[in-house]
Amino acid sequence: MTDPLVTVDDLEKYYYENDTLLDRLTGAEREAVRAVDGVSFEVREGETLGVVGESGCGKSTLAETLMRLREPTGGSVTFDGDPVFDLSGTDMNAFRRRAQVMFQDPFSSLDPRMTAGEIITEPLAIHGVGTSGERRERAETLLDEVGLSADQIDRYPHEFSGGQRQRIGFARALAIDPEFIVLDEPVSALDVSVQAQVLNLLADMQAERDLTYLFIAHDLSVVRHISDRVAVMYLGEIVEIGPTEEIFEDPKHPYTKALLESVPRADTDERDRTVETIRGDVPSPRNPPSGCSFRTRCPELIQPPGLDLPQATFRGISEFRTRIENGDIDVDLRWEQVGDPDREDREAFVDSLREEAFDTELPDAEEETVSEAIRALADGDRETAAATLRERYRSPCEAIDPGLPAGEHPSACLLNEQPEDVETAREEWEADYEAPEAGASSR
Ligand code: SF4
């Protein structure tokens, strides 16, 4: 195993809302949007670390913050032993030469008013490398190396295809001989056939120049093709990291499993495969769920001690509870649908919502609890409805925030090995937990 070139430790990038002077004077509470929330990992010399996750999970913010294109709100990044956030002057310039970024969109990331040659030589000019003639020669060589031709040097971006523009972006990133390149969704905007060519080019250049890559993508199959290790991100956190083949063959985190489930496979008959998509929306980073950030969508959500329902039943009830907690059920509309404007027949309301929310029978105790919650909802008492469900179906996943333990393939899930402090917190939670009576109200 090679040494780490980049070490990211507990990196945070929060944005704050209600944070103007006026907000402070009026006493408005500052709200944190946790775009990157305590992320730690290493990128080893000569490797490609893939970072994958749905859009909005914070992976691009992570890359920009570690490159110091955005200021962090916490944590540290070390590049070849130097603390990046403390660098200034010539040390910062040296870092900017050794670490480069290639951005996602080949249509907007290149200045349309500059020729390919000007785009590629700009970093050389900024860093005062060579004469203008030497820089032009270098650009011609780089154009050849990335599979274009030196005589295209005076053309403008609009004269190139998407794949060719991405090659120009890559030539620019290579211009000052960096050691480390952040590739932010470098092939997402390209056709599949062109993607493969660009990925091959990236791999060839890495082998030739001993480059280290941080490769960001939302497409798992792309990441598999190029990465030595993969980090999976969800809502600003890394939830699993490990060697690529292990992540694909033996995923540990329910989110990684769900992402893999949703990828079409060439070796199975898709008609016979039930593709389990990830249900629900990604929660807002303004108001992330308590405990495990994936719990509102997790198919493996852990049941409280003493409850042993079929997992699909528990998940269905938990999702119903989330809908109530989020105010997603329109009570007025439901009464209208029941056809009872005077709101007299609560049982009709219960039957109507019960039927819409669950397509199977529930065990008697759950039927009783769910019906009691719906009755409270029918009375317009959303708090009590939610509390009734919360009391019986409270998962340890909502009380305990899983951590990412040390190791080659850790996962931030309570079903897997956890750091000691998390294990202790869970033991204490379980010791304090008192199972409620079936159907018992929390009131
Ligand atoms: S901790 Fe719980 S909610 Fe989170 S991924 Fe694991 S099982 Fe799912």
Give the tens place of pLDDT for each residue, 97-143: 999 998 876 667 789 999 999 999 999 999 999 999 999 999 999 99
To test ligand 1's pocket by mutation, which of 237, 253, 295 has the most ligand atoms within 8 angstroms of CB? 295
* pLDDT at residue 341, rounded to an integer: 81
CATH number at residue 120: 3.40.50.300
Size of the chain in residues: 443
Looking at 250, 266, 301, the residue that finishes a domain is 250
For 412, the 3-state DSSP assignment is coil
> What's the gap in Å between 400 CA and the centre of ligand 1?
10
Q: Which residue's entry shows tokens 């033991």?
A: 427
pLDDT band at 26 (very low <50, low <70, confident <90, very high): confident
Specify whether 238 is located in the same domain as 330: no
* pLDDT at residue 442, rounded to an integer: 44
pLDDT band at 443 (very low <50, low <70, confident <90, very high): very low
pLDDT band at 439 (very low <50, low <70, confident <90, very high): low
Count Cβ atoms below 10 Å from residue 342 Cβ, excluding itself. 6
User: Distance between CA 66 and CA 424 in Å, rounded?
Assistant: 32
Phi, psi of 202 (to 5 degrees): -60, -40
pLDDT band at 193 (very low <50, low <70, confident <90, very high): confident
Specify whether 42 is located in the same domain as 160: yes
Contacts of 119 (CB under 8 A, 6+ apart): 110, 111, 157, 168, 172
Decide if pLDDT at 85 tops 70: yes
Domain span at residue 357?
311-404+420-432
Does a structural domain hold residue 262? no
Does a structural domain hold residue 258? no
Phi-psi bin for 158: left (phi > 0), alpha (psi -120 to 50), beta?
alpha
Calculate mean pLDDT across residues 356-365.
Answer: 91
Decide if pLDDT at 440 tops 90: no
Count Cβ atoms below 10 Å from residue 432 Cβ, excluding itself. 8
Decide if pLDDT at 146 tops 70: yes
Specify whether 335 is located in the same domain as 246: no
Closest CA to 388 of 401, 378, 399, 400: 378
Does a structural domain hold residue 393? yes
pLDDT band at 263 (very low <50, low <70, confident <90, very high): confident
Calculate mean pLDDT across residues 190-209.
Answer: 90
User: Distance between CA 97 and CA 91 in Å, rounded?
Assistant: 10
* pLDDT at residue 188, rounded to an integer: 83
Q: Where are the alpha helices (DSSP H) in 127-212?
A: 132-145, 162-174, 192-209
To test ligand 1's pocket by mutation, which of 253, 255, 279, 302 has the most ligand atoms within 8 angstroms of CB? 302
Amino acid at 319: E
Does a structural domain hold residue 443? no
> What's the gap in Å between 293 CA and the centre of ligand 1?
8
Looking at 250, 274, 295, the residue that finishes a domain is 250
Ligand 1 atom 6, closest CA: 413
* pLDDT at residue 106, rounded to an integer: 63
Calculate the dihedral angle through the C-alpha atoms of 258, 260, 264, 267, rounding to the nearest 10 degrees.
Answer: -130
User: Distance between CA 36 and CA 317 in Å, rounded?
Assistant: 30
Radius of gyration over alpha carbons of the chain, in Å? 26
Q: pTM value?
A: 0.89
184 beta partners: 216
Name the least confident of 82-86, 152-156, 165-169.
Answer: 165-169
Ligand 1 atom 3, closest CA: 295
Does a structural domain hold residue 303? no
User: Distance between CA 347 and CA 282 in Å, rounded?
Assistant: 34
Calculate mean pLDDT across residues 69-83.
Answer: 96
Looking at 250, 268, 289, the residue that finishes a domain is 250
* Ligand 1, atom nearest to 293 Cα: 4
Does a structural domain hold residue 259? no
Closest CA to 77 of 40, 132, 105, 22: 40
* Ligand 1, atom nearest to 416 Cα: 6
Name the least confident of 118-127, 169-178, 274-283, 427-436.
Answer: 274-283
Name the least confident of 167-171, 190-194, 310-314.
Answer: 190-194
Q: Assess contact for 386 and 327: CB atoms under 8 A.
A: no
Split into its structural domains, the chain has a count of 2
* pLDDT at residue 190, rounded to an integer: 82
Q: Assess contact for 21 and 186: CB atoms under 8 A.
A: no
User: Distance between CA 119 and CA 188 in Å, rounded?
Assistant: 21
User: Distance between CA 95 and CA 86 in Å, rounded?
Assistant: 11
> What's the gap in Å between 438 CA and the centre of ligand 1?
24
- Taking only the tens place, the pLDDT of each residue in 371-416 is 999 999 999 999 999 999 999 999 999 999 999 999 999 999 999 9
Please list every protein residue whose CB sits less than 6 Å from any atom of ligand 1.
253-254, 292, 294-295, 298, 300-302, 397, 402, 413-415
> What's the gap in Å between 394 CA and the centre of ligand 1?
13
* pLDDT at residue 194, rounded to an integer: 86
- Taking only the tens place, the pLDDT of each residue in 268-311 is 555 555 555 677 778 888 888 999 999 999 999 999 999 999 99
* pLDDT at residue 98, rounded to an integer: 96
Write down the mean pLDDT value for the chain.
90
- DSSP class of residue 34 equals E
Spell 170-191 as b/e; 16+ CB within 10 A means b.
bbbbbbbebbbbbbbbbbbbbe
Does a structural domain hold residue 414? no
Decide if pLDDT at 435 tops 90: no
To test ligand 1's pocket by mutation, which of 413, 417, 423 has the most ligand atoms within 8 angstroms of CB? 413
Does a structural domain hold residue 277? no
Decide if pLDDT at 42 tops 60: yes
Specify whether 173 is located in the same domain as 32: yes
Specify whether 18 is located in the same domain as 163: yes
pLDDT band at 191 (very low <50, low <70, confident <90, very high): confident
User: Distance between CA 6 and CA 80 in Å, rounded?
Assistant: 6
Closest CA to 205 of 289, 126, 147, 134: 147
